[in-house]
Amino acid sequence: MQRYIFRNKNKITLISGILIVVGFLSRWTIGNMTIFKWSLIIASILGALPIVIQAYQALRVKVVSIDVLVTIAVVGAFLIKNYEESAIVTFLFLFGAYLEQRTLNKTRSAIKELTEMAPESALKRMANGEFEEVEVDEVGVGDILLVKTGAKVPVDGTVLAGEGSINEASITGESIPVGKEKGSNVFAGTILDNGTIQIVADRVGEDTTFGKIIELVEEAQDSKSEAERFIDRFSKYYTPAVLVLSFIVWLFSQDIELAITILVLGCPGALVIGVPVSNVAGIGNGARNGVLLKGSEVISDFSRLDTMVFDKTGTLTVGDPSVAEKEYYGKNIDEALAYLASVERESDHPLAKAVLEEIGDISLFPVENTEVVKGEGIVASVNGHRIAVGNPALMERENVKLDDKARQDVARFEKNGNSLVLTSVDKELKVLMGVRDQIRPGVKEDLEKLKKRGVKNLVVLSGDNQGTVDLVSGQLGLTQAHGNMLPEDKSAYIKRLIEEEGQIVAFVGDGVNDSPSLALADIGIAMGSGTDVAIETSDVVLMNSDFSRLPHALGLTKATARNMKQNIFIAVGVVIVLLISVLFSDWMNMSIGMLVHEGSILAVILNGMRLLRYKVR
């Protein structure tokens, strides 16, 4: 019976409303008081059914809920034969609950949209080499899949063959297509706008980036902030207090209708719903714009941020070093470059990769007698020549003489923040290359937006040499720059900011070595293409490592925190005004008060929903 009533709650609300209209029309038009009376009685009983059941369920677990207050008030009004009040109060309460649920569903639209984007099937290559459509749950790691134009990518994977443009809005929030070719990474839930590609499945099901987004957003929207926990505690004591106040008023005034009216108007409905709807809407907006906020507590801390600390490589910079400057000396440069490429091919150092990319396709020679000089470079024999590749210290060890021009070039390259790669052939300098990581496009503008949103200190911590870190800091206008820092040094620095200086600190990073700092900071912010450990440790994830999402995230949390305060003010203000009005004025009655009360619930919900449209300016 209870299930039937709850399943048809909206229909009961509609019937109750129609009966109230019929009753008042019969009274105003034909003056039939019998129809008026029985329409309101039936409307009262019907409307009270779901409310009474919810009140009973609350009392069973020793909770005096809003439904308990309304039930007592409605029963009281019914007993004193004030059928108008009992019918209107039950209708407004049910109609308010309907509006509340409807608008709350809209604030959770981000989850619904994400879930609907999830792929359901895939074209999988079978043992006979043919592609057949299967359920996405049947796809395993290592399977080869075919994605055609207009289809959703079913799993996270790597392109094996073909080219195309993919709309990655479900991951990054940006609808601008991204070109994909052999070796490119693709994500589940994204859409192939044009072309045809074959991919190998790297991550499937809940392990995909898309699956993790849905899981994280669901967890975040179900979590409770400090403000919500306070309101839960407040409501626990407030509701019985309203009951006591109502009893005291009846005791002194002997006015049962006044006491019942206080019960109805004292319900803290808008207060209970106001903060959760702000949190849910804020987290939903973030999810649709490539920002994952892991819970309501993050919003509170993030909105009060003092200091933002950045790892350099992969965060402020692209994380892919390349040759920025180069100088050649003497003759036979092409031959020297071939020797350099031959030696660097033996190394897995990031600088070696940058040098090889700069040189490009070239004829290589066998490399013999390779000697790695720790912290300086490599010495080897190539085509009968002694080749040294490394920093100035290695050149000094090899007795390679640098003329005035070469020394000036070295000093200039170092000043520009380069890591140096010098190459000598038979103790004669031939090549000088300056390798450095490039600053992410648009980072400087994004940092300015952070300053405008109240971040007082912008700090970079890096394991790179101080000169390189200072150069990046100077170009970006950061507050402080610290180089030559190990992971434990970064953690100690953040701990000092929090414990000794009392600052609210966010740390932004992407690597395994950043995990301690991400966990220690008040707000850990991970770049989405970073390591799984960094993402799991963090409080906020910027999908697809899009740094431009950071100002949006900060602005959104500040807007959400303001929205919570506005909703609390509206809710408390309306209850105070209603109680004062019913005690000290003649115009306020139960029906008018209930209408205003339900209006306040709708007001806080609509105010919270404004966050769904928030955009960074």
Q: What is the mean pLDDT of residues 265-282?
A: 73
Residue 210 in any domain: the answer is no
pLDDT at 614 over 70: yes
Q: What is the mean pLDDT of residues 255-272?
A: 72
The pLDDT of residue 457 is 92
Please say whether the dihedral angle defined by the alpha carbons of residues 537, 538, 539 and 545, taken in this order, is positive or negative: negative
pLDDT at 176 over 90: no
Q: What is the mean pLDDT of residues 48-68?
A: 76
The pLDDT of residue 30 is 83
**How many domains, in total, are found in the chain?**
4
Question: What CATH code is carried by the domain that includes residue 448?
Answer: 3.40.50.1000
* Same-domain check for residues 428 and 475: no
pLDDT tens digit string along 404-436? Answer: 999 999 888 888 877 789 999 999 999 999 888
Q: Residue 223 corresponds to which amino acid?
A: S
pLDDT at 495 over 50: yes
- Least Cα distance to 339 among 373, 318, 368 occurs for 368
Residue 214 in any domain: the answer is no
pLDDT at 589 over 90: no
* Same-domain check for residues 101 and 224: yes
* Same-domain check for residues 353 and 377: yes
> Considering 144, 175, 203, which residue would you say is the last residue of a domain?
203
Label residue 208 by pLDDT band (50, 70, 90): confident
The pLDDT of residue 220 is 45
Q: Taking each helix axis as running N to C, give the angle between helix 590-609 and helix 549-584, from 0 to 180 degrees, rounded to the nearest 10.
A: 170
- Least Cα distance to 217 among 120, 302, 296 occurs for 296
Residue 395 in any domain: the answer is yes
Backbone φ and ψ for 356, nearest 5 degrees, come out as -65, -40
Secondary-structure breakdown of the chain: helix, strand, coil percentages, each rounded to the nearest 5: 55, 20, 25
What DSSP element (H or E) covers 198? strand 191-203
Residue 551 in any domain: the answer is no
The pLDDT of residue 110 is 47
The pLDDT of residue 151 is 87
Label residue 327 by pLDDT band (50, 70, 90): very high
The catalytic residue among 67, 143, 156, 311 is 311
Range of the domain at 130: 121-154+156-203
CA distance 469 to 482: 7
Angle at 218 between CA 215 and CA 222, to 5 degrees: 140
* Same-domain check for residues 338 and 396: yes
> Considering 485, 512, 545, which residue would you say is the last residue of a domain?
545
Residue 204 CA to chain centroid, in angstroms?
Answer: 22
Question: What CATH code is carried by the domain that includes residue 381?
Answer: 3.40.1110.10
Work out the number of other CB atoms within 10 angstroms of the CB of residue 447.
Answer: 21
- Least Cα distance to 547 among 417, 432, 458 occurs for 458
pTM: 0.62
- Least Cα distance to 322 among 404, 401, 254, 421 occurs for 421
Reply yes or no on whether 306 is catalytic.
no
Residue 115 in any domain: the answer is no
* Same-domain check for residues 245 and 301: no
| Residue 434 · residue 324 · CB < 8 Å | yes
